[in-house]
Each structure stands twice: as C-alpha cells, then as structure tokens.
A and B are shown apart, each in its own frame.
Chain A
Amino acid sequence: MRLRVDNVTKEFGGVRAVSELSFTVEPGRVHSIIGPNGAGKTTLFNIITGVYTPTQGRIWLGDDDITALPPAARAARGIARTFQNLQIFFNMTALENVMVGRHLHAPRRILPSMFHMPGIKRANREARERAAELMRKVGLARFIGADADSMPYGALKRLEIARALATEPKILLLDEPAAGLNPKETLEIDELIQKIAQSGITVVLVEHNMKLVMGVSDHILVLDYGRRLAEGTAAEVRNNPDVIRAYLGVGAVAGAA
C-alpha cells in the first residue's frame, strides 16, 4: 500500500520541526530518509505513526486519510515501527516483548481471557511459537529465554524489529537501526533489512550510516531543517549539489557518523 505524506508541517511552540513536506513511499521498496541531526526525521516518524498530530497536512495510506487515526489504529492498518531511543518493555521477557507484537492477531475479549477459554490457549501457543520464530529470524535465538533487561544494546535493537514484524506490517519504519552498533552488527542489520524487504514489506529507514543507506535503499529522501532538500536514487542523491553542500557544511559530522 502506498504511503503518502501530503504537505505536512509540525510546529513545537513556534519552531518548525517539519515544514510543508510531501513525499510518497511506493510499496515494496526500501525508502530511506536521511539528513543531519534535527532535520525532523524522528518527528516525521512520529507523525506517520500517529504519536504526533501534524500542525497541518495529511497522511494517506492507500486511498484512506489516516491523519486523525490514533497509533493503535494505524498499527492495525499495517504500520509498524522501531524507536531511536529504545522502547522495550523492560518489565517482560524478550519473548514476551515479541508476543506483544501479536496483539492485533489475538483474541482480546475480557471474559474468555479471564476464564482461559480454548481460543486464548491457542492464541498464547500461536503467539509464543511465532515470536520464537521471529526471534530466530532476526538472530536472537539465544535470547529466547532471556529477560529483556538482561540483553545487550545491539540485541535490543533487533528485539524491536522482531516485535514490529510480529504485527505483520505492510510498512515498517526503522528509526536508526544501526546506531550504536559495531561494524559486524551493522552488516547483520543490513542483511536483515534486505531480507525484510524481500519478504514484501515496505521499509522506511532513518539512518546515519551512509554506507548502509546507500547499499539498501531504492529511494532516498534528504531532509534539512524539516524541508525536502533532495530526493531520488542513491546515485542521484549522492551527486546532488545541495546535498553535498549540506553534508560538507554543518551536517558533515553527523553524516559520517
């Protein structure tokens, strides 16, 4: 399904984090959003997932205007995400974190839940199996029995991806999945993103690691101060004079990080 950001502006007390921004994410592709720190990338994710309401503009999913939908309803329509600042359920085990991702696909009525009807039993078993499978898929097999708060940083990043995948998203938003990872882990994330994309899920990627971005992206959007600076394929963006100027200027350090 096509995701369309239509003339979106977000202001925080007069400061524009995102400014009159429009772009389209075509289904089945890896669409990256890059830009220096403070360019509005995470704000954009928050607007797309419904955590923030835009000051102005609309978000379309296919033919539907989802601007007014709360985050949970957007998740139900197939938008999932990870977080730049980890948002792990530290009060649960790793496996349970991923099981929560099965929420939308499980029975959720109070009386059957309290009386532990067969449907609930089945749902628990299904969720546990799917979650374990996903954990293996993202390379967390050895953490299946672990508590979330005993896991290292790199593993938690992947745990968020597994949780997001458990919702069976059509569009997956990854917010700096490689930040803080060592080169080997970064390579694994690279492979994982490609694997996810191959499975037919649209990936929207915010990332500072240019090597990763240039390698996996079908399409790149460059933001600067909440505005679109450039857009196109990796090659087009790399040769865009505005981008070069922005990155060799104030953003150079962030871009290289």
Chain B
Amino acid sequence: MAEFLQFLLSGITVGAIYALVGLGFSIIYNASHVINFAQGEFVMLGGMGTVFLMAAGLPLIVAMPLAICVVVAVGLILEKLAVEPARDATVVTLIIITIGASIFIRGAVEVTLGKDFHRLPGFSGDEPILIGGAALQRQSLWIIGALIVVVAGLKWFFDHTRLGKAVLATSHNRIAAQLVGIEVRTILLVSFGLSAGLGALAGILTAPITLTKYDIGIMLGLKGFAAAILGGLGSGFGAVAGGIVLGVIEAMAAGYVSSAYKDAVAFVIILGVLFFMPSGLFGAKGAERV
C-alpha cells in the first residue's frame, strides 16, 4: 500500500509537469494550429535560466520571475521571427520551423551555458514529508499547487478577460474572429508568450527534482505533446487530464513492471488510445464536410 501510494504521488508530480507542458502545446495549437516542437526548450530554458541567474547571486524569488520573463521574450521572438513569416505554410513546414527553433535554442544554450547537469535547491527544503509510509517531496506540492493556480488562472483569463475571449474566438473560427476586429497576429503572439511562460514555470519547478540540462527539453516536450494528444489536442482540460493520467500510469509501470521501459509506456498508451479513439480522450470528433 505504501508502495502504491509512493508510485501514485510521484506519478501525480510528474503528471503535473506533463500537464503544464501539454497546456503550452494546447494554447499554441488553439490559436494557430501549430504544434510547437520548441515547447520542450521553453521548459529547459526556464530551469537553466534560473540556475544561472541564481549562480550570478540572485535569490530564487527574483531569479524565477526574471527567468520566466526571459523565456516569454524568447517565445515572442520565436513567434515574430520564425512562425509569423510562415503563417500560410503547410503544417509540415511549420513543424520543421519549430524543430529548427528547438535545435537553435538547444545549440545556443549548449554554447553559452554548457552541457552539464544542474540542480536547483528545493523551494522549501529537500526533507520529504512522510504520508502513510510514502515519501512526498516538498517540491511536489509546489508543482501540484502551481498546476492548480495555472489552471484557475487560465480559466479566468479565457472566461473573463477581453484578450482571453479573443484567443478563444480565434481558435474557434479565425476568419470570423478577424471579421469582428480581432487582431489575429496579436493573438498568436499572446499564445506563444503564454506557452513560453508556462513552459518556463514547469522547467523551474522540476529542476529541483529531476535536474536540468541543455537537452532535457526533448523528452519533456514529447511527453507534453503526448499529454495534449491523449487529452485531445486543443482541449485545456484534456491536456491536464492527459498529463496526470500519463504520469501516473508511467510511475505505476515503472514501479510494478519495468523501469527500463518507463519512457516507452507513455507512447504505448498513446498509440493504443489513438488506435481506438483517433481524436484523443476528450477531443471533439471532427466531421468532414463535402
């Protein structure tokens, strides 16, 4: 039982990270139908940025928001310089562009910050809390708490602010949104900024648990993408649910079946779900009109 609880707790923690990354995918996808393969790099940048700002002597409380701001700026620049000029390109072209961006960002970090592993201290110490025989990392509470705050914040943003409603409208129908005077280019910028910020947050929160390095973004990005797909692309709730489900199953599989195949589990699940539910767990069924 303690063992099960242990796996569940670590699964939820990891799942919350996947959810945060997956939300980033969903937000950009909704606004632009682009899958941003550089999403994982935002996560890496957040963690690495904070590490180096703290190494420069800044306290966490300053380094963290500063790092997020830097990553948001990177997201905006990416949108402006790489995605915006290719607005009308094919899906595959846009995928390649974001992949190019991710290679570029990884390369930039490799050159400037090096290839070593780095670690952030836990936000409230590294002593685990014992619950029913299972150890809960204090950092997990920060991660889960952050996810809850983010989800609530996003809900408020989309339901109650003009900008949020404009983003939603654009995702439903781009042309109609343009007709009612919504500046679609602004929406795209906002979505990239928002996703970059979320990614950075996820990267900072995980750094105390999983360490950070210039190339951790690849796998985290893919898992986040998997979470978004599992939940149904474009569904915010889906991305969160998909992330948690993915994290928990992965932790259970690692604990009870084989830790060697931990990373494979996520993708086996994804394939299974897609084979039987081609639009994900919560995705809308798209009917083809002729």
Q: A interface vs B, CB < 8 Å?
A: 12, 42, 46, 51, 83-85, 87
Contact = CB atoms under 8 A, between A and B. Distances in A.
B290 interface: yes
Dominant SS among interface residues on chain B: loop
Nearest to A81: B290
Contacts of A83: 290
A51 B290 CA distance: 9
A12 B290 CA distance: 14
Contacts of B290: 42, 46, 51, 83-85, 87
Given A46-B290, A83-B290, 7 more contacts: A12-B287, A42-B290, A51-B290, A84-B290, A85-B289, A85-B290, A87-B290
Interface string B271-290: 00000000000000001011
A83 B290 CA distance: 7
Nearest to B287: A12
Nearest to B289: A85
- Tier of interface size on chain B: under 10
9 contacts: A12-B287, A42-B290, A46-B290, A51-B290, A83-B290, A84-B290, A85-B289, A85-B290, A87-B290
Dominant SS among interface residues on chain A: loop
Nearest to B285: A13
A12 B287 CA distance: 10
B279 to A, nearest CB: 15
Contacts of A85: 289-290
A42 B290 CA distance: 8
Interface in B236-290: 287, 289-290
Interface in B60-111: none
Contacts of B289: 85
A83 B289 CA distance: 11
Nearest to A46: B290
A120 B79 CA distance: 48
Contacts of A12: 287
B287 to A, nearest CB: 8
Contacts of A84: 290
A86 to B, nearest CB: 11
A87 B288 CA distance: 13
Contacts of A42: 290
Instruction: Give the top 8 A-B pairs by smallest Cβ distance, nearest first.
Output: A51-B290, A46-B290, A83-B290, A85-B290, A87-B290, A42-B290, A85-B289, A12-B287
A176 to B, nearest CB: 12
Nearest to B288: A51
Nearest to A175: B290
A12 B289 CA distance: 12
Nearest to A87: B290
A196 B262 CA distance: 63
A104 to B, nearest CB: 20
Contacts of A46: 290
A122 B290 CA distance: 34
Contacts of A51: 290
A42 B288 CA distance: 13
A88 to B, nearest CB: 13
A84 B289 CA distance: 11
A79 to B, nearest CB: 15
Nearest to A83: B290
Contacts of B287: 12
A160 B245 CA distance: 48
Nearest to A49: B290
B17 to A, nearest CB: 37
A28 B113 CA distance: 77
B174 to A, nearest CB: 18
A231 B290 CA distance: 26
A189 to B, nearest CB: 20
A84 B290 CA distance: 8
A84 B287 CA distance: 17
A46 B289 CA distance: 10
Contacts of A87: 290
A83 B287 CA distance: 17
A85 B288 CA distance: 12
Nearest to A43: B290
